[in-house]
Amino acid sequence: MFRRLLIANRGEIAVRIIRACRDLGVSPVTVHSEADRDSLHVRLSDESLCIGPAASRDSYLVADRVLDAAGAMGAEAVHPGYGFLAERADFADRCAARGLVFVGPPPGAMRRMGDKAAARAAAIAAGVPVAPGSEICDDLDAARTAARDIGYPLLIKASAGGGGMGMRPVAGPRELPGAFAEARSEAKAAFGDSRVFLERRIARPRHVEFQVFGGPGGEVVHLGERDCSIQRRNQKLVEESPSPAVTPRLRETMGAAAVRLARAAGYRNAGTVEFLLAPDGGFSFLEMNTRLQVEHPVTEQISGLDLVALQIQVAAGAPLGFTQEDVRLSGAAIELRLTAEDPFGGFLPGTGRIAEFRPPDGPGIRCDAGVDSGTEVAPHYDPLLAKLVAWGPDRETARRRAMRAVAETRLVGVPSTLPFFERVLSSAPFRSGRYDTGFVADHWDALSADPAEDDLADFAVAAAAAELYRAGRRSAPSAAPLPRWSLAARGGC
């Protein structure tokens, strides 16, 4: 096992890796920007070095500074977390060149599966279902020819893309020229690579992904699926496992396809194979993420495995230690991505100092946080603050515990997605498990309605109740029921 490991990241994932290191007896060291000098991950690590200004392009994304820091602090391995340098095959190469172990997949597998067009070709070669599509389209004429062969509606996808960048839906021929130009331009700006390809758009799919893990001897297993269909603009908001739409037989079929692809790619360590699941039960390969996922705690809760510790152990050369037959999945888990965004203001990110953060607790609740009271939320980074995870012996118990977690969490000083999650978890489609990737768009009015008028009405009722109480009358006005916070206010009058 390594003596010392550098965590090339920040926020909640850096804290998560620090804790895995502690459990393994490994000394965790970190890097930080000038804006993160007092952050939680810095305070929890054994040593930390500043590697530049607040902007990530001048600090966390500068590979040489990260590697210099690893050498200065005597690290033997580097864990990239997710984001930043996590899927940079050249960074993994540079780690090896400096005698550092990269905690992740081999660079060759990252290159092969990190390019969407190449990954699609690998899936076809491995016998994994894919949606009808094209090869790279270098110009509009090639795109028009491919579109006629594929049929509408379709998607234009950036080969080097991720997170919905460089992706455009196309309903018909008239939309193709504009969408094609926009996708190429956005892909070039975001990834420095304008290559795009076309793929048939599946109507009302679910986004279902399988956690895979490869050992040093070439063995690969899957750890079940996660349903990530609650999204906004291709950004995941809520994840759960198992998927309400996946039967045991379908799980076996999809899991085998995920393992087959990972094995063909020569994959090692943690990765995720993502699929689109059609309403008729057919599925097609979407992409492979060659890193740890934000939603990995969902799988940890139902599998009983510490995926981060397993990553570090496998990177150190330890065998995987179990086979597919040994994997036992139990209960249900739901993860909520708590971000500093205003759900009633178009999900605009907020900044400022967190005056108070009180995470939830109790049976079945886990909170992976990268902040605490007093943390300054800067505008330079992803707004993810914490992940609320609820486990239960069944889905309904997990759902109710997730609602309890939302109600118990106190976050003062920045806007957050807490009220949005309360509405999602209590909605009829989510309760029933019958939803797809169109959930947020279909129910946007109800999910994002400005609560100001309701709050004013509640406040009026509470004020009237307080006045009646002071006047010696013990009953509240009957015009409207008192909300929970109003009842609490009345008790204190």
Q: How many other C-beta atoms can be found within 10 angstroms of the C-beta atom of residue 96?
A: 12
Q: Which of 324, 262, 322, 334 is nearest to 297 (CA)?
A: 334
- Which one of 232, 291, 399, 401 is the catalytic residue? 291
Residue 444: partners with Cβ closer than 8 Å, 6 or more residues away = none
Residue 220 to residue 327: CA distance in whole angstroms: 12
Residue 34 to residue 55: CA distance in whole angstroms: 9
Residue 61 to residue 69: CA distance in whole angstroms: 13
Residue 185 to residue 472: CA distance in whole angstroms: 69
Residue 106 to residue 248: CA distance in whole angstroms: 31
Determine contact, residues 300/247, Cβ cutoff 8 Å.
no
Percentages helix, strand, coil for the chain (3-state, rounded to 5) are 40, 25, 35
Phi/psi class of residue 128: alpha, beta or left (left: φ > 0; alpha: ψ in -120 to 50)? beta
Read off the tokens for 25.
């007896």
Q: Is 291 a catalytic residue?
A: yes
Determine contact, residues 376/384, Cβ cutoff 8 Å.
no
Backbone angles phi, psi at 335, to 5 degrees: -115, 135
Q: Which of 217, 129, 208, 144 is nearest to 175 (CA)?
A: 144
Q: Which of 309, 285, 145, 132 is nearest to 209 (CA)?
A: 285
User: Which residues are known catalytic residues?
Assistant: 291
